[in-house]
Structure 1
Amino acid sequence: MTQAFTELSLAEPLARAIAEMGFTTMTPIQAQAIPVVLQGRDVMGAAQTGTGKTAAFSLPLLQRMLKHENASTSPARHPVRALVLLPTRELADQVAEQIRLYAKYTQLRSTVVFGGMDMKPQTAELKKGVEILVATPGRLLDHIEAKNCVLNQVEYVVLDEADRMLDIGFLPDLQRILSYLPKQRTTLLFSATFSPEIKRLANSYLQNPVTIEVARSNATASTIEQRFYRVEEDDKRQALKQLVREHDVKQAFVFVNSKLGCARLARALERDGLNTAALHGDKSQDERLKALEAFKKGEVELLVCTDVAARGLDIKDVPAVFNVDIPFNAEDYVHRIGRTGRAGASGLAISFVSGKDAKLLADIEKLIGKKAEVEPLELETDRRRFGGPAGRINDGQRLWHDERGAAEARRERGRRAAPPADPLFDQPYEPGLPPDVKPSWEEPSKAPVGKGLSAYIRPRRKVPALFKPPVTDTADTSP
């Protein structure tokens, strides 16, 4: 049974912002979490990706903080009261934008800080005073050590995608950050998957939390069609182009496991005429944001990325996801394919399985509780060499022929007329000198021969000396 946002009795500024964004009914995680957070209780929320977790914690926090809003320009009147921690820069930027839209008609201030960018603009925003701070752990610690922000008045803490933060080694940073916060606070932990490590974290920092699970742990969305194809490593690029064309995919995420493989595949697809962008950890933050913005605007067809884009990115109406490489972590498979089929829309997830992926595929089957039917994929023969035009093959002479006419082309080359014969070239060898005449280089030298020298060795030429050594008198001059 669906519930409308009007049943929550939210404040008028928040209700107006929600209506302006076109939200009318709540998702299951929102319907269950928002009333609990409004009561001020700690929450452990588990929901599959793309179900609206951001609104589930943002709206009730904004509602409870409206009592602190003021129009003062003094930074002291705008201390940090809500802290939202996220694992990646892209996710932090996205959540901050959503919170800004929700708080559009309020006087509550918000900002975002993350690495890869200059700290000076972020410092200037923090010095003005903000009530809601969205951050990645590493950059937040930089600002804390630089004394750019004080967290002693924080009332609400949100750990979003907490399992991912633990996976990439943020646990020590999280522990340091939480040590700066007041003991009396409301802590919300949201994640698409729960692991034993997450439960230990919750037991350490949450007080009597309410556990909310709206979907089976690690389940994939039912609106996503999952297909698996048997493709060897060397054929994956060709298979990707073929399936993009067959399914008439206008936009898609393409996931690989390594940053180097991501860059190489993006360049290769760009050479093949596909509008492609790469997104991986070695890109600067400015390059990553530009690639995402171009993808959102539809200027990029294929966004080739590593798992840095697997979590939380909410880009609507992406019809397909391709796993060129099977992820090393089975849980990342759930997050990858969650980039499509969002908000109830249908989506297509295609994964390429090579011979070495048997164990990784078994881990995915165990996680999602479903058998993966691996289908054979018959690759087209038209692009076997150098990616030539459809229906044609390359004959090795930089010429493209219809496959049926290839044999005829080879026969035609065999029938070509031989070049005209060169009579001089065909003549037998004839010596140019009579047999009793020796060449000049074999004649002995006519110059006078010194004693003991061969007739074939020229004597040294005498040249006048410019300086003569002085003659010394060797006579005895003693008295």
Structure 2
Amino acid sequence: MSGASNCFADLGLPPSLQNAALAAGYIEPSPVQREAVPAVLAGRDVLALAETGSGKTAAFALPLLAQLLKAKPGPGPRALVLAPSRELAAQTADLLRLFAATLPQRFKIAVAFGGVSINPQLMALRGGCDVMVATPGRLLDLLAHKGLNLQSVQTLVLDEADRLLAAGFEQEWQRIREQLPPAPQTLLFSATFPNALQQLTDALLSEPVRITLDSQPPDITQRAIQVDAAQRTPLLRHLLKAHDWQRVLVFVATRYAADHVADKLWANGIQAGALHGELSQGARTEVLAALKSGKVKVLVATDVAARGLHIPALDAVINYELPRAATDYTHRIGRTGRMGQKGSAVSFICADSPTNAESHFRLIEKRQAQRVPREQLPGFEPVAVANEGQASGGIKGARPSKKDKLRAAAAAAATTAPPRPV
């Protein structure tokens, strides 16, 4: 790679954070990262407007940690990130921890949100923290309990500022501002810019660097293919060979499945690597570097490992196993079709799986308010097919006989795999 547009090193990040970005799957900086990271490192206020999925969280998380590497420790958090929801607060804290895991200094990333007991969050703040990620309401609760002091905050981040405003942030902000030192560096990230946000930016930001990226909905083609569970790996191999996909992310439920499916792909001449929570940081970096160089084209990953993962130019996401929570489906398929590129999302619907895949996928469709037609591919037709209209999950059609099950198991039996990259 060459040029500032394609290399994290050219953005001014220290080598330790360049490596942390690579280990997290950030192979190339996104447009918002290219513009925001140098501005934050220079100490400027930033107003960034970019769509969801554009990499805004890493755009402030990476330079924020770079600043902490150079700053002197204080009695309280040196950075405060405000998020509109518990889900976003947790995801932001997870990404900060992922980036910070291999840094030469140890940083404590604390997270707090409502809907749960405040006591464990107060206990976690004993001894202080370096970064506080919180929803505004719970932050005020912590301040009322004297569990937090914000006088050492040097950088303030308002993430998804439009959603903060919609949740009544203006009233809460007046009380939070009283606890902050005057004029901290302020970073405001938002997907939209409603009129009310202009007043907030005028009050908070001083000569900000303005970053505006065209917002457009993701272009993702969704497919749902009915297949017997034992035929998923042969079908996966068929899809990988039938399409000119250069980078593919395959989601499974467990560490064992990630290793098992990756081994079977490798044994059949498809360069694949596994990515799961039990891999060391070095192993994560190795397999992602292999993806970057083209030595690996397929990553078989669990949701734990893929949280916060960013892979540019990802052609397709394949749900080998459906996510446990319907809300995670959108998170999974959103890894493709980013920043104006086209993407494909394929889900395997198995009527003979232990859980009712058809019923579960109908919940996913209801959640995203989009119907995905069912398909069957020649040579991979399932023996049993769930009735789509049966929300209770009953199965209609012929049940597989013992001979059918043995035949399917034999067809999917693993072969001895040659060594593959970790």
Q: Give runs of aligned pairs for residues 235-314 of structure 1, distance below 5 A.
A: 244=224, 300-301=322-323, 303-304=325-326
Deviations 1:258-279 (A, max 9, x none): xxxxxxxxxxxxxxxxxxxxxx
1:121 deviates by 2.2
Deviations 1:276-321 (A, max 9, x none): xxxxxxxxxxxxxxxx87997987546345xxx89xx8x4xx34xx
Query: Between Structure 1 and Structure 2, how many residues are aligned?
Result: 277
Map of 2:7 onto structure 1: 4
> 1:203 & 1:90 partners in 2: Cα distance?
28
> 1:22 & 1:348 partners in 2: Cα distance?
19
Check the 8 A contact 1:13/1:103 in 2, yes or no: no
Question: Does the C-alpha gap of structure 1 residues 143 and 377 become closer, same or farther in structure 2, counting only changes over 3 Å?
Answer: closer
Give the counterpart letter for 2:42 in structure 1.
Answer: Q
Indicate yes or no: 2:110 matched with 1:107.
no
Check the 8 A contact 1:295/1:303 in 2, yes or no: no
> 1:12 & 1:24 partners in 2: Cα distance?
14
Give the counterpart letter for 1:178 in structure 2.
Answer: R
Normalising by structure 1, report the TM-score: 0.50
Map of 2:259 onto structure 1: none
Check the 8 A contact 2:12/2:41 in 1, yes or no: no
Give the counterpart letter for 1:303 in structure 2.
Answer: A
Question: Does the C-alpha gap of structure 1 residues 387 and 21 become closer, same or farther in structure 2, counting only changes over 3 Å?
Answer: closer
Map of 1:63 onto structure 2: 66
Deviations 1:386-424 (A, max 9, x none): 8765469xxxxxxxxxxxxxxxxxxxxxxxxxxxxxxxx
Map of 2:191 onto structure 1: 192
Instruction: Considering Cα pairs closer than 8 Å and 6+ residues apart, tell me whether 1 or 2 has the greater RCO.
Output: 2
Check the 8 A contact 2:75/2:152 in 1, yes or no: no
Map of 1:96 onto structure 2: 93
Map of 2:401 onto structure 1: none
Question: Does the C-alpha gap of structure 1 residues 107 and 294 become closer, same or farther in structure 2, counting only changes over 3 Å?
Answer: closer
Give the counterpart letter for 1:140 in structure 2.
Answer: L
Identity of aligned residues (%): 40
- Unmatched runs of 5 consecutive residues or more in structure 2: 233-302, 308-318, 347-369, 375-384, 399-422
Deviations 1:438-464 (A, max 9, x none): xxxxxxxxxxxxxxxxxxxxxxxxxxx
> 1:124 & 1:298 partners in 2: Cα distance?
40
1:224 deviates by 2.2
1:191 deviates by 1.2
1:118 deviates by 2.3
Map of 1:201 onto structure 2: 200
Q: Give runs of aligned pairs for residues 14-163 of structure 1, distance below 5 A.
A: 14-68=17-71, 77-104=74-101, 105=103, 106-163=105-162
> 2:371 & 2:388 partners in 1: Cα distance?
21
> 1:19 & 1:131 partners in 2: Cα distance?
23
Map of 1:229 onto structure 2: none
1:93 deviates by 0.8
SS at match of 2:125: helix
SS at match of 1:150: coil
Map of 2:220 onto structure 1: 224
Q: State the superposition RMSD in angstroms.
A: 3.9
Check the 8 A contact 1:86/1:159 in 2, yes or no: yes
Map of 1:166 onto structure 2: 165
- Unmatched runs of 5 consecutive residues or more in structure 1: 71-76, 227-242, 251-291, 320-337, 350-373, 393-479
Deviations 1:417-441 (A, max 9, x none): xxxxxxxxxxxxxxxxxxxxxxxxx
Check the 8 A contact 1:69/1:107 in 2, yes or no: no
1:192 deviates by 1.5
> 2:320 & 2:137 partners in 1: Cα distance?
32
1:340 deviates by 6.0
1:148 deviates by 0.6
Question: Does the C-alpha gap of structure 1 residues 32 and 122 become closer, same or farther in structure 2, counting only changes over 3 Å?
Answer: same
Deviations 1:21-57 (A, max 9, x none): 3433101000011111111111110111111111111
> 1:383 & 1:15 partners in 2: Cα distance?
47
1:113 deviates by 1.0
> 1:41 & 1:384 partners in 2: Cα distance?
55
SS at match of 2:115: coil
Check the 8 A contact 1:161/1:192 in 2, yes or no: yes
Question: Does the C-alpha gap of structure 1 residues 391 and 121 become closer, same or farther in structure 2, counting only changes over 3 Å?
Answer: closer
> 1:14 & 1:209 partners in 2: Cα distance?
24
Question: Does the C-alpha gap of structure 1 residues 29 and 387 become closer, same or farther in structure 2, counting only changes over 3 Å?
Answer: closer
Question: Does the C-alpha gap of structure 1 residues 225 and 11 become closer, same or farther in structure 2, counting only changes over 3 Å?
Answer: same
Question: Does the C-alpha gap of structure 1 residues 339 and 169 become closer, same or farther in structure 2, counting only changes over 3 Å?
Answer: farther
Question: Does the C-alpha gap of structure 1 residues 213 and 10 become closer, same or farther in structure 2, counting only changes over 3 Å?
Answer: same
Q: Which runs of 4+ in 1 moved over 6 A?
A: 292-299, 374-378, 382-388
> 1:148 & 1:298 partners in 2: Cα distance?
45
Question: Does the C-alpha gap of structure 1 residues 4 and 166 become closer, same or farther in structure 2, counting only changes over 3 Å?
Answer: same
Question: Does the C-alpha gap of structure 1 residues 78 and 300 become closer, same or farther in structure 2, counting only changes over 3 Å?
Answer: farther
> 1:220 & 1:132 partners in 2: Cα distance?
32
Map of 2:244 onto structure 1: none
> 2:49 & 2:210 partners in 1: Cα distance?
8
SS at match of 2:133: strand
Question: Does the C-alpha gap of structure 1 residues 174 and 339 become closer, same or farther in structure 2, counting only changes over 3 Å?
Answer: farther
Give the counterpart letter for 2:190 in structure 1.
Answer: S
Looking at CA atoms only, which structure, 1 or 2, has the larger radius of gyration?
1
SS at match of 1:346: strand
Question: Does the C-alpha gap of structure 1 residues 345 and 96 become closer, same or farther in structure 2, counting only changes over 3 Å?
Answer: farther
Normalising by structure 2, report the TM-score: 0.56
> 1:25 & 1:224 partners in 2: Cα distance?
21
Map of 1:341 onto structure 2: 337
Map of 1:234 onto structure 2: none
> 2:183 & 2:119 partners in 1: Cα distance?
32
> 1:54 & 1:294 partners in 2: Cα distance?
17
